[in-house]
Chains A and B, each alone.
Chain A
Amino acid sequence: MKVLLRNPRRELELPGPLTVATLLDRLELNPESVLVICGDTLVTRDARLSDGDTVEIRPVMSGGAS
Chain B
Amino acid sequence: MKCRVCRGPAAVDIRRHNAAFCPEHFVHHCREQVRRAIKEHGMLGAGERVLVAVSGGKDSLALWDLLVALGYDADGLYLGLGIGGYSDRSGDAARAYADARDRKLHEVDLAGDYGYDIPGAAAATRRAPCGACGLSKRHLFNTIAIERGYDVIATGHNLDDEAAVLLGNVMRWEPGYLGRQHPVLPATPGFARKVKPLIRLGERETAAYCVLESIDYIVEECPMAEGNRHLGYKEVLNDLEDRSPGTKAAFLFGFLDRAQPLFAGDARDEREGLGECAICGSPTTGEICAFCRLRARAGGA
Contacts and interface: CB of A to CB of B under 8 A. Distances in A.
Given A44-B20, A58-B219, A60-B203, A66 B242 contact: no
Given A60-B203, A64-B133, A44 B1 contact: yes
A63 interface: yes
Interface string B216-250: 00011110110011110011001101100000000
A46 B149 CA distance: 49
B134 A64 contact: yes
Interface of B: 1, 10-13, 20, 23, 57-59, 129-130, 133-135, 137-138, 160-161, 164-165, 168, 202-204, 206-208, 211-212, 219-222, 224-225, 228-231, 234-235, 238-239, 241-242
Given A60-B203, A66-B130, A32 B222 contact: no
Interface in A36-57: 37, 41-46
A66 B134 contact: yes
Interface residues of A, number: 24
A6 interface: yes
A6 B207 CA distance: 14
Interface of A: 6-7, 30-35, 37, 41-46, 58-66
Contact of B203 (A6, A31, A41, A62): A62
A42 B239 contact: no
23 contacts: A31-B242, A32-B202, A32-B238, A33-B238, A35-B208, A35-B211, A42-B11, A42-B208, A45-B13, A58-B207, A59-B221, A60-B204, A61-B203, A61-B221, A61-B231, A61-B235, A61-B238, A62-B222, A63-B57, A64-B129, A64-B133, A64-B134, A65-B130
